[in-house]
Amino acid sequence: MHTMSHPVAPVSGARNDAKNEAKNGAMHSAANVAVAGATGYAGQELLRLLARHPGVSITAAMSSGTAAASTRPLPALAHLWDGAIQPLSHDALREADLVFLALPDSAAAELGPMLAEAGVRVIDLSGAFRLRDSDARARWYPETRQVPARVAYGLTERERVHVRDAQLVANPGCYPTAALLALAPLVDAGLIAQASDVIVDAKSGVSGAGKTPTERTHFSEVHGSVSAYGVFNHRHGAEIEQGLGREVTFTPHLVPLDRGILSTIYVRVPAGTTESAVGDLLAQAYAGETFMRLTGSALPEIKHVVHTNFCDIGWRVEAARGSTARAILVSVIDNLVKGAAGQAVQNMNVMLGLEETLGLL
């Protein structure tokens, strides 16, 4: 089959000038950042990225517990970051310019508003502040009783204008990141048939379930198997529906990989819609976006994006049957980078006025 590639267009002159100014600014001062929950998968990924970031200084890295026993060494980061993990301290976090919360929802729901009110800027990797609707939030994140002012949803490529001035950024979930980046431009353009089901069939590596072991994530349960879970009952479904403004059938699956997400997305488009038309639409939506790679009919794979902040999207469209045609999009990300720590650092760069790709390429 013919492969249609849509390379990302170069950044325009005005935007390039702004990026150069941001780079120059980063040389003069480093922001003090802290990580709470640094021993989890996303937290360790944050430390790995921040330790090599020229625009920030890590002033504290904390576990998710307040007891000394909750700390431990991180041998994977030796010679990259040689600091010590400290027990969680609310007071110490207030000393940072910006704090990453890689904590359980309940802890983030408590700490986020407290830090925001103290003037500390926050990037929260939990789901505590992602849902705008209070009823949906009460159902999926009942621990969140207070939402601070100036909260932005941190899907960077689509929300950077809001991220820039936010006091707290709700970093998107990993599944919603992959799904929304593929679907949102089509929804914006009205290209998905109104009566069409939107089906997101997503597969994730085991690290997406977090570091706390469960029977489902036990090696002998995962190895050699694939399982669906959270059918009609996964909170990321609500997040995807919020981003698209329409109903979505979302089914996540656990696959025997340590990291990565592949979402296969099924929609119907008007008769006469071509693969080139879909490609042109996505290319226009993501012109100048370094971390978006459009692969056309050469469908992407998880191994193409692991350990990177890229989102690769491919698509195919069949010949019309009646008034609509079936279209399939495949979106892949690394759940710990673009789906968590990498997107968080990308948002931090926007918030601090730094080059958006700094520390990520």
Give the 3-state secondary structure of residue 36. Answer: strand
d(CA 89, CA 107): 12
pLDDT at 15 over 60: no
Q: Sorting pLDDT into bands at 50, 70 and 90, what band is 72?
A: confident
First to last CA, the chain: 31
4, 47, 125, 174: which one is catalytic? 174
Which has more confidence, 72 or 161? 161
Lowest mean pLDDT among 12-26, 31-45, 197-211: 12-26
**Of 92, 242, 88, 98, residue with least CA distance to 169:** 98
**Of 169, 204, 177, residue with least CA distance to 345:** 169
For 211, how many CA atoms within 13 A lie in the half-sphere containing its CB? 15
**Of 185, 142, 214, residue with least CA distance to 283:** 185
pLDDT at 130 over 70: yes
pLDDT at 141 over 80: yes
Residue 18: predicted pLDDT? 44
pLDDT at 68 over 50: yes
Sorted by where each begins, the domain ranges of the chain are 13-171+340-351, 175-335
Percent of the chain with pLDDT over 90: 79
> Whole-prediction pTM value?
0.90
Lowest mean pLDDT among 37-51, 63-77, 270-284, 303-317: 63-77
Q: How confident is the model over 226-247, as a mean pLDDT?
A: 94
d(CA 291, CA 279): 16
Residue 348: predicted pLDDT? 98
Residue 1: predicted pLDDT? 39
d(CA 82, CA 13): 40
Give me the chain's average pLDDT, please: 90
Residue 181: predicted pLDDT? 98
Q: Sorting pLDDT into bands at 50, 70 and 90, what band is 11?
A: very low
Q: How confident is the model over 14-22, as a mean pLDDT?
A: 46
Residue 70: predicted pLDDT? 64
d(CA 204, CA 226): 10
User: 19: alpha, beta or left, given left = phi > 0 and alpha = psi -120 to 50?
Assistant: alpha
List C-alpha distances in Å: 325 to 125, 299, 321: 37, 19, 6
Q: In what order do the strands lie in the sheet with 311-317?
A: 227-228, 249-254, 199-204, 261-270, 324-333, 311-317, 292-296
pLDDT at 159 over 70: yes
Lowest mean pLDDT among 37-46, 157-166, 319-328: 319-328
Q: Annotated catalytic, 311? A: no
Q: Which two tokens stand for residue 258?
A: 């340590």
Residue 277: count other Cβ atoms within 10 Å of its Cβ. 15
Alpha helices in 66-223 (DSSP H): 90-93, 105-117, 134-140, 156-163, 174-188, 219-222
Long-range CB pairs of 20-23, under 8 A, 24+ apart, other chains included: 22/349, 22/353, 22/354, 22/355, 22/358, 23/354, 23/355, 23/358
Residue 211: predicted pLDDT? 65
Residue 17: predicted pLDDT? 46
d(CA 155, CA 147): 18
Residue 217: predicted pLDDT? 74
pLDDT at 261 over 80: yes
Lowest mean pLDDT among 128-137, 222-231, 288-297, 339-348: 222-231
**What CATH number labels 13-171+340-351?**
3.40.50.720
Q: Domain 175-335 belongs to what topology?
A: Dihydrodipicolinate Reductase; domain 2 (3.30.360)
pLDDT at 356 over 70: yes
Give the 3-state secondary structure of residue 330. Answer: strand
Report CA Rg, the chain: 20
Residue 69: predicted pLDDT? 58
Q: How confident is the model over 161-168, as a mean pLDDT?
A: 98
Q: Which amino acid is at 97?
A: D
